Chains A and B, each alone.
Chain A
Amino acid sequence: MSSAMYERMRGNPKFQELVATRGRFAWTLSIIVLVLFYGFVMAVAFIPGTLGQPVSEGAMLTVGVAVELFLFIFFWALSALYVKRANGKFDALTAEVIKQAQKGGK
């Protein structure tokens, strides 16, 4: 019974649209996080001196600490962005796909 449901969902172009757009969105965000994080780890290993510079003349805040604080906030903001879209637009699309597949079975 559910196998037929899955078959119908797979055949629905909306399902393909859901998978493609949500997948692309998730991968893009993941790559941003991975590149920024491992880029920063590399910066720590290769240019520690630059990260130890103050952000401006006479400031006690260093570039490294400022970047880290930014990453904490930015990564969380990306998470919030993903949840907003996934729980809104993508879940609405999902519900539609399931509904159409159920209708098609009757």
Chain B
Amino acid sequence: MRRLNQLCCALGLFALSAMAYAGPPVEGALEKQATNWHAIIMFCIFVALSMGITYWASSRTKSTSDFYTAGGGITGMQNGLAIAGDYMSAATLLGLTALVYGQGFDGYLYMLSFFAGWPIILFMMAERLRNLGRFTFADITSFRLDQGSVRTMAAISSLTVVCFYLIAQMVGAGQLIKLLFGLDYNIAIVGVGILMMVYVTFGGMVATTWVQIIKACMLLTGGTLAMLLAFSQFGFSFHTLMEKATAVHKLGIKLMTPGSLLADPVNAISLGLGLMFGTAGLPHILMRFFTVGDAKEARKSVLYASGIVAYFFNVIFLMGLCAILVVGTNPDFFEGGTIGGKLIGGGNMVAMHLAKAVGGDMLLGFMAAVAFATILAVVSGLALAGASAISHDLYARVIKKGKATEAAEIRVSRIATIGLGIVAILLGIAFEKQNVAFMVGLAFGVAAAGNFPVLIMSMYWKGLTTRGAIVGGYGGLLSSVAFVVLSKAVWVDVLGNKAAIFPYSQPALFAMPIAFLLIYIFSKSDSSARAKAEIEAFEDQYVRAQTGFGASTASSH
């Protein structure tokens, strides 16, 4: 029955895509992309491959451990690729290439900020996460604290992050697919939502991981190829490239000098903190630490992931610089053929235009398929993290108090996935015309100030009590949301007010200390018997965190 369903879904989607491609292009600017058969064929191959994997994975997804963490049987190398895949969304590829193209040095600095969190996660968190957690990071925060209230808080906070991130990804996906394939926005959103539901519902973590791995390999291949082809036009000489690029770029010789993006030190530090500790609080990233067998593999995962991310950021840097000449001086890529005017398809299309210029329709098609695969993989990871917060934390632990059967828990997580998919589709459609750039900022802000402080304190500070965790967790969550709402991106740009109340664009520098302070004050002043027991329980937790003794091990099958 299940297999039949799967088959129907897959066929339905192909039919849906075929119908959509046959339809007329939506806007004039899209006509070029409407007949992009290379992209369509390559994308169909990807979907077919991922469906095959989902089919295979569904037969291996029986227990809750299989569903949430692939039974802990993913190797460090595979997990590293999957983490890198989770971390490098379509926005990374398209947005960062465009940022380097437009701002040069600032784009590179932004990428360094994205990268610098990984070593810290490795040194301070990786082994403790693996040794203490099982399915969700709430397993760790509620390890010695009150299950009901702490898990509820962690689940609310996780779902907030997942929802903001999902909206950003869905809206981006809709617009990108509209551009690349000439597909109607709403159809694109529904298509992404349905594919995501199929992967996660049937294949759980096994399918999600493999979709991530394939996508990461495609992204690395496509990016490297485009970079090499483009760089070869300058004889692989950075000197030649820069000489020519600074000659034509509007910033001139200032291209490689810090510009306006991070000129304000408060904003720059706040951004750095948000990206660094936000990464360490993203539920779909944290979940990946539980898919490996032990702390050894968890460390290796981070090493591989950060190596891949660092490599790819440098590829993007070169792609962006090459694009200044290859794309920026070619009238074919500008609306009306005016060099320096508006790029066809908008600023985010730099990477796609570069692929077309150096590799023709074939490479453009491949990169378009990569971008689509990237979106699918990232939303699947998010949906799984959100679903596990609902089924594992809220349903199995809070509502059923640990007495739910595995079958019931998996059923709830599947229903939750479908629910999240529907929510994502509806929100994606609702936010079509909005500028959703601030949504990613919100997701990282809430992750850094809501999730991260409680998580790190639960691992490092003996004195943490339930009361401190609850007040600090909600305090961080609310204050980071409040700061973003009061900042320019929402208060002025979305709500239409005259001046922003909160003068900075990044909340982390302010919301994180609030969270830590609340945790400290409300833990210290908690003199209840429960608090005493919780503090005493730290000793055993500490030994387990350090040695991994008692941690769940990989199930073998």
Contacts and interface: CB of A to CB of B under 8 A. Distances in A.
Interface of A: 2-3, 5-6, 9-10, 15, 18-19, 22, 26-27, 29-30, 33-34, 37-38, 40-42, 44-46, 48-49, 51-52, 59-62, 64-65, 68-69, 71-73, 75-76, 78-80, 82-83, 86-87, 91, 94, 97-98, 101
Contact of B539 (A6, A64, A71, A97): A6
A63 to B, nearest CB: 9
Given A2-B549, A26-B123, A79-B118, A60 B246 contact: yes
Nearest to A27: B123
Given A82-B299, A83-B299, A86-B299, A64 B256 contact: yes
B544 interface: yes
A3 to B, nearest CB: 6
A75 B257 contact: no
Interface in B260-282: 262-265, 268-269, 272, 276
B557 interface: no
Contacts of A3: 540
Nearest to B267: A45
Nearest to A74: B119
Overall SS of chain B's interface: helix
Interface in B290-322: 295-296, 299-300, 302-303, 306-307, 310, 313-314
Given A9-B543, A41-B265, A64 B123 contact: no
A49 B257 CA distance: 7
A98 B549 contact: yes
A48 B243 CA distance: 20
A68 B108 contact: yes
B268 A45 contact: yes
B544 A6 contact: yes
B186 to A, nearest CB: 41
Interface residues of B, number: 52
A75 B122 CA distance: 11
8 contacts: A2-B540, A2-B550, A6-B539, A18-B546, A27-B123, A75-B115, A83-B299, A94-B547
Given A6-B540, A41-B268, A49-B257, A61 B238 contact: yes
B303 A30 contact: no
Contacts of B49: none
A52 B246 CA distance: 13
Nearest to B264: A45
Which of A64, A73, A83 has the most B CB atoms < 10 Å from its CB?
Answer: A83
B495 to A, nearest CB: 30
Given A3-B540, A44-B268, A87 B313 contact: no
Contacts of A83: 122, 299-300, 302-303
A62 B264 contact: no
